[in-house]
């Protein structure tokens, strides 16, 4: 009896490439990353399966396919990722990509909660915070503000800034705990300190979160100067990431320049950043946003031919909305 010869890595990659072409992946420049995600998913990395599910769900770099998204969400759930369970559960609950099945949806949601509780018990502060939010809002679990408060405090103790904000809110409002403004202030200060530490370490999202705290002044004293400085640092971190080839950062920064959030409003700079992300090939939404600008002359000279080309690129990248629009643009 003959034995099969193990395939070399380059052969395995070639087979994956062929599979991805059959599955309808959008642009050639997105294939390398998608091949990597599929290989990781195949080897049991739940987050990679989840990322593929998101891409198919939203039509990001692939042809939108909610049924295929549900398959990858299920694989992520099977490999132990709570978010995968929640999203495939939602697919069964709504019939989006799967036959409606409320019993199966409930079972998957329960599995997600159990996985998140296990992660929290093992010391993942972020999981405690997310689970606390579910109990606070009654999302797939019975509403229980007291249990939510315990989970938020556990998250805060573990260094999760969002957990500290949430337990601070619980003390401030008396939701799940007796009102205690002093304890609320202490938790808000800890959250601010955690955001600051993460921001100092190069986390742009933490810089933005802290900037918003100081800008709104509802949980910490309002400080518009400090907020502005934090928004500038966030923008600088995204600029650096964008220049280094992290195109998600280019898109985020483009929205900042478009809206004037933390940086001077600059539609020209925003258009350049959208174009950079679009050219990368894995961000069809950037192509579509820029196409709309050229179609309507918003912040850039009106150019229907360029708009049509950009809508086509977004369509090729998997955005079905762009495919519909491109037919009407001349």
Q: Each residue of 1-41: pLDDT tens digit?
A: 334 333 333 334 443 444 544 455 445 556 667 778 888 99
Task: Report in angstroms the alpha-carbon separations of 178 from 1, 111, 161, 191.
Answer: 74, 32, 21, 20
Q: Where are the domains of the chain?
A: 10-121, 123-192, 201-264, 286-330
Give Dmax (Cα) for the chain. 77
Residue 303 has pLDDT above 50, yes or no: yes
Q: For residue 60, what pLDDT is reported?
A: 73
User: Which of these ranges, 17-26, 203-212, 314-323, has the smallest mean pLDDT?
Assistant: 17-26
Check if 10-121 and 123-192 are the same fold. yes
Q: Please give the average per-residue pLDDT across 224-253, as a whole number.
A: 93
Q: For residue 55, what pLDDT is reported?
A: 85
User: CA angle at residue 199 from 193 to 201, to 5 degrees?
Assistant: 110
Output the average pLDDT for the chain: 87
Higher pLDDT, 330 or 146: 146
Q: For residue 262, what pLDDT is reported?
A: 78
Q: Which CATH superfamily is domain 10-121 in?
A: Tetratricopeptide repeat domain (1.25.40.10)
CATH architecture classification, 123-192:
Alpha Horseshoe (1.25)
User: Which of these ranges, 77-91, 98-112, 158-172, 275-289, has the smallest mean pLDDT?
Assistant: 275-289
> Structure pTM?
0.77
Q: Would the CA dihedral through 153, 155, 159, 160 be positive or negative? A: negative
């Amino acid at each position: 009896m003959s034995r099969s010869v193990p395939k070399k890595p380059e052969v395995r990659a070639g087979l994956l490439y062929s599979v991805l072409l059959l599955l309808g992946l959008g642009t050639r420049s997105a294939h390398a990353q998608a091949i990597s995600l599929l290989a990781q998913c195949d080897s049991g990395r739940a987050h990679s399966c989840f990322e593929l599910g998101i891409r198919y769900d939203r039509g990001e770099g692939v042809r939108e396919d909610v049924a295929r998204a549900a398959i990858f969400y299920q694989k992520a759930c099977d490999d132990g990722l709570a978010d995968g369970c929640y999203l495939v559960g939602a697919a069964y609950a709504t019939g989006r990509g799967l036959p409606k099945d409320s019993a199966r949806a409930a079972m998957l949601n329960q599995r997600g909660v159990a996985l998140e509780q296990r992660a929290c018990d093992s010391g993942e502060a972020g999981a405690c915070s997310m689970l606390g939010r579910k109990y606070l809002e009654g999302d797939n679990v019975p509403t229980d503000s007291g249990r939510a408060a315990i989970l938020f405090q556990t998250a805060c103790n573990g260094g999760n800034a969002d957990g500290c904000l949430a337990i601070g809110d619980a003390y401030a409002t008396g939701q799940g705990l007796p009102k205690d403004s002093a304890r609320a202030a202490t938790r808000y200060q800890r959250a601010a300190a955690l955001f600051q530490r993460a921001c100092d370490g190069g986390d742009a999202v933490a810089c933005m979160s802290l900037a918003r705290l100081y800008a709104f002044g509802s949980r910490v004293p309002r400080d518009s100067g400090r907020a502005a400085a934090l928004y500038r640092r966030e923008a600088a971190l995204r600029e650096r990431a964008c220049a280094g080839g992290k195109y998600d950062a280019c898109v985020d920064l483009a929205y900042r320049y478009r809206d004037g959030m933390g940086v001077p409003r600059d539609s020209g700079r925003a258009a350049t950043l959208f174009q950079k992300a679009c050219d990368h090939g894995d961000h069809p939404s950037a192509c579509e946003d820029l196409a709309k600008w050229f179609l309507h002359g918003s912040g850039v000279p009106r150019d229907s031919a360029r708009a049509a080309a950009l809508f086509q690129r977004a369509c090729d990248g998997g955005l079905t909305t762009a495919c519909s629009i491109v037919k009407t643009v001349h």
